[in-house]
Structure 1
Amino acid sequence: MKWFLQRLFAAIAAIVVVLAGAAALIQYQYSGEPAEWAVSNGTNALWMGHDWVDGGNGDAELAGLAPHIRAGEISDVYVHVGPLEYDGTLDPALYPEAGAFLERFRAELPDVRVSAWVGQRVEAGELDLSDEDSRARVLDGAADLMDAGFDGIHYNFEPLPDNGEDFVSLLAETRDAIGDDALLSTAVPQVEPLAGISFGVRLFAGKDKYWSPLYLKRVAESVDQVAVMSYDTAMPMEGLYGGFVARQTRLALDAVPEEVQLFMGVPAYPDEHATRDPDAETPETATQAIRIGLSDAAERRERFGTALYVDFTATDEQWAAYRDGWVSPPAEE
């Protein structure tokens, strides 16, 4: 028994040392000053809630949001229109005011592209993307949304497995359904921060939290835009979150082809749960980390920006922090 306990304590100590080393390595990523050119170039995105298409929001709400969109240099918005049914059907009754919203929005913000945000949980007993009939119904819904006047389709299925063929098939089929002139985009999970870590996370969580860089590249090659959901990271402190996002930015820049628009997610919501510390995951930390990660490139990438999540919880203070951190940060002395 004594021998067993000694071995057990030694193993635990080794794990603690490894975890401490990994934490130090992650936090180190959030160091140094970003380059002056690592700022917004006017290509950024915003996820918008369902109230815009079901009649909950109108002229007054748009008048309040529009100045934030302009000042935030938002070029693309993803407006929630779902969710899909578990069989892939999208009921048009979920977005009865889409036409009126699009007319109102384009009159106010004619240069901002509007994509329909479509999604559903993809787990046992829920939407099955391996089923051809379910995918066909998803495509029917996408075609209806394009007929309603949206500029494109933005998918957000969670959780999606790493190296999954079904999602790649859906993207190819969607492109055929909506045509080359329409925007096709998707929200994507975080990138595996260290090679091999996904296996352990999968064993512990029972699902993939991360995608490999190779799979992200493969998905990105099928779309016009990808938005990395660089929040809900389970990082418990500002330094760890900042280091994680800086690392995510570097990995995503390497994986996503230059001709594809890459957005890095910025959190602006109050939720606190097992995978999010709202005191660590802030717009200030996210934008600084993104700038640090971007600064590792030789020059400013044209098709690169941020995506703020989400309009209906973002406060005036968070919008200001986003602008100060990304759109027009103060010059370094």
Structure 2
Amino acid sequence: MKWLLKRVLAACAAVLVVAVAAGALLGMRFSGEPAAWAASGGENGAWLSASWLSGERSAADRAELRDRIARGGIAEVYVQAGEIGADGSVQGAYGSAEARDFLAWAEEELPETAVLGRLRHRADGSSLVEDRFDEEARARVAAAAGEAAGAGFDGVHLDVSPVSVNDPSMPRLLDAVREEIGGDSVLSVQALPVELVPGLRVPYFAIDRGERYWSKGYLRRIAERADIVVVPGHGSGMPVSSMYGGYMVRQVEEAVAALEQREGSAGTALRFGVPGYGPDAAGEWGEPSGGESTETAVQAVRIGLTRADRRENVGTALYPLDTAHDAQWRVYLEEWVEPAE
């Protein structure tokens, strides 16, 4: 019994040492001064809640939204438009009279901003053995995306999670959606985080039987079919800001490298998530982590872009634009949109 206890304690100690070392390495990545050019170029995205398509927002709310979009250099917004069921059926407000009213307002007041209908799906477990969507389900999702585009949206933002690396149903879904919405509509995809080192997704999968990361190769397969890929900046599991900062720096470096390694995905725009929500809304975006903040995320994205030397087709995506606290919005403007020299 003592022998077994010693072995268990030794294993726990080894895991602790590895965790501490990994944390130190991530903290070291979050260092250095970003280049002056590593800031907003007006190619940013942002999420909006479903209330914008339900008629609940006032004229004053719309005026504030218009001002934030203009000030923040927001090129596209992802508006919650529908929930995707396991069979691919979509329930949502993208075809409602209230949605048409909002889209008409956006066309007049936000002519330079693409309004994308966010179609969301959440599942339990992996899609390693069974594809996330079968052929019939993919056809239903694609048809709904086509209806959203026909209703006046500038395109769709597909937010499907989790999707396992090498699940062929996601690339096939994107092909079907593209065919339905056409080449002039914007196709945006929510990715899983990129694994920080090759193979890291495997132990995470073994521990919780879920999917936490994509490989760079799978990210390229998705990016080849999309106009925009959004890499999350929430739900990182990082307990302190230095680790979260290093995590985000690594996300930028790995995502940029992944897309630049193949010609077909090199022109795809990248967005990196920046949390702008409080504890009361964190459940919408993922399990809250102690190290995540607007300021750390923005600083990390700037450092990551500096090291990756990426200037074009890259920006941030704020979650969510309409409910970000004033302090978070001020940090976003001062540290990303209009950083001091």
Query: Normalised by the size of structure 2, how large is the TM-score?
Result: 0.91
The 5-angstrom pairing of residues 1-333 of structure 1 reads 1-91=1-91, 93=93, 95-96=95-96, 97-123=98-124, 129-256=132-259, 257-271=265-279, 275-277=287-289, 279-298=290-309, 300-331=310-341
Q: Secondary structure at the match of 1:191?
A: coil
Q: Secondary structure at the match of 1:210?
A: coil
Take 1:148 and 1:62, find their aligned partners in 2: how far apart are those partners?
20
2:43–2:313 Cα contact (<8 Å) kept: yes
Shift in Å at residue 211 of structure 1? 0.4
Take 1:69 and 1:316, find their aligned partners in 2: how far apart are those partners?
14
**Post-superposition CA distance 1:111-133 (Å, at most 9, x none):** 11111111111347x99743221
Shift in Å at residue 328 of structure 1? 1.1
Q: In the alignment, residue 39 of structure 1 is paired with which amino acid? A: A
Take 1:18 and 1:84, find their aligned partners in 2: how far apart are those partners?
39
Take 2:116 and 2:335, find their aligned partners in 1: how far apart are those partners?
26
Q: In the alignment, residue 105 of structure 2 is paired with which amino acid? A: R
2:83–2:119 Cα contact (<8 Å) kept: yes
**Post-superposition CA distance 1:239-277 (Å, at most 9, x none):** 111110011110111112330000000001123578422
1:86–1:128 Cα contact (<8 Å) kept: no
Query: Normalised by the size of structure 1, how large is the TM-score?
Result: 0.93
Supply the RMSD in Å over aligned alpha carbons. Answer: 2.1
| Structure 2 stretches lacking a partner, 5+ long | 260-264
Q: Secondary structure at the match of 2:76?
A: strand
2:103–2:153 Cα contact (<8 Å) kept: yes
**Post-superposition CA distance 1:271-308 (Å, at most 9, x none):** 3578422x52111000000001000123x421000000
Take 1:95 and 1:104, find their aligned partners in 2: how far apart are those partners?
15
Q: Secondary structure at the match of 2:266?
A: coil
Q: In the alignment, residue 257 of structure 2 is paired with which amino acid? A: D
| Structure 1 stretches lacking a partner, 5+ long | none
2:95–2:148 Cα contact (<8 Å) kept: no
Q: Secondary structure at the match of 2:201?
A: helix
**Post-superposition CA distance 1:163-187 (Å, at most 9, x none):** 2111110001111111111111111
Q: In the alignment, residue 325 of structure 1 is paired with which amino acid? A: E
Identity %: 39
1:47–1:307 Cα contact (<8 Å) kept: yes
Q: In the alignment, residue 306 of structure 1 is paired with which amino acid? A: T
Take 2:200 and 2:340, find their aligned partners in 1: how far apart are those partners?
37
Take 2:212 and 2:29, find their aligned partners in 1: how far apart are those partners?
21
